[in-house]
Amino acid sequence: MRTHWLPLFVMFVLVGCQDGKVDPIQKKAVDLPTAADAPFVQGKITLIGEWKEEVLRAGFVGKGKDGKNVANGCGLTFESFGSGESMTSETFRPQLSSIFNHAGSGLSFRHVKIAPGDYVVYVRRNEVPVAWQKVAVKEGDQLTFDVTIDPAKMGSIVVTLPDEEANAQLSLVNSSLVLIPMEFVQSETWIREAFEAGYVQVGNKTVTREGVPAGKYLVRRGKSEAEVEVAAGKESAITLVRKESKK
């Protein structure tokens, strides 16, 4: 589990589960976590409608009781027939984060042996956050957060960046587009890492994100931001406004 260095975590997200382990095909349902894995958060992922292939990532960001920021996650491309694919991030042992698609139990995820503290647990689909839950984790907790992904309840956004933003050479920490649900806008900054929605290359003035759950968001990239309301089945266009630091 990461306890230091945000840039290291961002690089980890960029390249995927670089220290993860792809499990061999299994025809049985994955074993559920037990008390020996606590504290843990686990859940099923239900995709509404027909689908053939999906890129999914399950992860968390949090702050432990010791005040240190922690994070982990893992993603994989899954096929609908559930041939047994799974991925486990072993980077921060003994804490393990896994995502599965087993024939017996379907899509699911779990984060085991996480430190007590405050967390946002999330699932991303094609880089876009589609489900999230804020949880307080205590010693021995065995928590469940089931996720339903319904494309019919999603829309898209087209984001225009100011020239200064589009051409800015940003650090890895600030280069992502971030879609912060309005209920989290006033929260501590560590929470916002859960809502990163893909990197924006230097020179890209227009950015499109599809599959955004309907709702109100603060969209941010670098020093620019704006509020937007996403409606199911519709496209919303916004222009971010550059906010220079006050001297």
Cis, bond preceding 94 (omega within 30 deg of 0):
yes
- Over residues 98-109, the mean pLDDT reads 89
* 6-149 against 152-242: fold identical: yes
* CATH-assigned architecture of domain 152-242: Sandwich (2.60)
Q: What is the mean pLDDT of the chain?
A: 87
Q: What CATH number matches the domain at 6-149, 2.60.40.10, 1.20.810.10, 2.30.40.10, 3.40.50.1980?
A: 2.60.40.10
* pLDDT at position 29 over 60: no
DSSP, collapsed to helix, strand or coil, labels residue 174 as helix
Distance CA 18, CA 89 (A): 8
DSSP H helices, the chain, are 6-15, 163-166
DSSP class of residue 8 equals: H
Identity at 133, one-letter amino acid code: Q
Q: What is the pLDDT of residues 162-217, one digit of tens each?
A: 999 999 888 776 789 999 999 999 889 999 999 999 999 999 999 999 999 999 99
Confidence of residue 59 (pLDDT cuts 50, 70, 90): very high
Length of the chain (residues) = 247
Strand partners, 46: 148
Q: Which residues contact 19 (CB under 8 A, 6 or more apart)?
A: 89, 90, 91
Task: Locate the domains of the chain by residue range.
Answer: 6-149, 152-242
Given this model, what pLDDT does residue 114 score?
96
For residue 45, give Cα distances in angstroms to 2, 60, 125, 185: 25, 15, 11, 26
- Over residues 14-42, the mean pLDDT reads 66
